[in-house]
Amino acid sequence: MSEKFRLRPALKTTPAYVPGKPPKAKEGLKSYKLSSNEHHMDPLPAVAEAIEAGGRTPASYADPAVAELTAALAEHLGVSADQVLFSAGASEMLKALFHVAVDPGDEVVYPWPSFEMYPQLANLCGASHQRISVDADGRHDLPAMAAAITDRTRLVILCSPNNPTGPALRQGEFDEFMAQVPADVIVVLDEAYIDFCDAEDAADGLAALHRYPNLALLRTFSKSYGLAGLRVGYAVADPELIMELRKSILPFSVSASAQQAALVSLKHSQDMEIRAKEVAGLRDELAAGLRARGFEVFEAHGNFVWLNLGDRSDDFERACLDNGLAVRNLGDGVRISVGPAEAMQRVLQVAGDFAADGGTVTDAGAPDKAEGAPK
């Protein structure tokens, strides 16, 4: 860290966000970026037109209240408008939740590995970390997370489906966990990938809001709606919490193009659902193909799969890069985002060759160092 300026000591132990690597150009091969959990399909024509229309008046600020989109989303979700707040991606809303809840010395409980901004923001708030390792199946260890809550805990974060490991929380275990959380401790349920989840017993955060006033849902248009580059995230929570979060969200953070694109996307939600099912189908085929080649793949409910490769993660990443594929090497495993069918076939080809060379690891155990992806 620079000695030229008076900077906060917390920066010494706070890593910067590291984005997914781009693919290497390989002669004769089309390259694919499978390292950032992006939606690989082109936008719907109506959405593309909305983006263009929203950018025609760049000299004017966008609506700071995001009023039209807020009303439309509230109706779509079946909640009141005062329960919804938009931000520049879910990451800004996550930062706002830390700002309104956490002071130096407070505790934050979160699973690990999961989204890398959880420890980053805890560090920057001066909080103590209660980082609870996922279990051997890549799932939240909810009993251990509940046991970690103390009278200093101010924020608990859950991620369902969990990025990068893949499993979604089950309704029964979620309700049992929430019953153990003090009513004044905010629980953030990060559902960035919820639209790809097809598990019948997955926890329903939206339905749980009326039962748990301390629950805040974190969602985004980046993933299933394919608007990652426009930065449209939102929270759904108790109106009193939403009112306080407004103090921490930057004004005009959601651009006019982003608001219009999200509004039109909501009108085409059925098309989004069809696309999400197509992505989920590709994900399941990829997971099955990898398992058939001897790889350990956790239950996957997002738009990605996790290979529990342990210390062979670097080798697998190099094998992918040599074949025009960029994947996310997270230290103890590799996360592969779902892409076009031809990209998934190439992943399976690389995986098969890797396994044939003795590279498969099926007993690496639960990861403990990996990090997540932007929202």
Q: How many Cα neighbours within 13 Å face the side chain of 4?
A: 1
Topology of domain 9-43+270-356 in CATH is Aspartate Aminotransferase, domain 1 (3.90.1150)
pLDDT (0 to 100) of residue 129: 93
**Among 193, 240, 192, 194, which residue's Cα sits nearest to residue 213?**
240
**Among 189, 179, 180, which residue's Cα sits nearest to residue 155?**
189
Residue with tokens 């939740």: 97
Q: pLDDT 10s per residue in the chain (375 long)?
A: 557 888 888 888 887 777 777 777 777 889 999 999 999 999 889 998 888 888 888 888 999 999 999 999 999 999 999 999 999 999 999 999 999 999 999 999 999 999 999 999 999 999 999 999 999 999 999 999 999 999 999 999 999 999 999 999 999 999 999 999 999 999 999 999 999 999 999 999 999 999 999 999 999 999 999 999 999 999 999 999 999 999 999 999 999 999 999 999 999 999 999 999 999 999 999 999 999 999 999 999 999 999 999 999 999 999 999 999 999 999 889 999 999 999 999 999 999 999 988 755 444 444 544 444 445
pLDDT (0 to 100) of residue 326: 95
Helices vs strands, H then E, count in the chain: 12, 12
The answer to whether 110 and 157 have CB atoms below 8 angstroms apart is yes
The answer to whether 140 and 169 have CB atoms below 8 angstroms apart is yes
Cis, bond preceding 164 (omega within 30 deg of 0)? yes
Domain(s) labelled CATH 3.90.1150.10 in the chain stretch across 9-43+270-356
Topology of domain 45-268 in CATH is Aspartate Aminotransferase; domain 2 (3.40.640)
Cis, bond preceding 161 (omega within 30 deg of 0)? yes
pLDDT (0 to 100) of residue 140: 98
How far separated are the first and last CA of the chain, in Å rounded? 27
Q: Locate 5 and state its tokens.
A: 């300026």
Domain(s) labelled CATH 3.40.640.10 in the chain stretch across 45-268
Handedness of CA 39, 45, 46, 49 (dihedral sign): positive
Cis, bond preceding 182 (omega within 30 deg of 0)? no
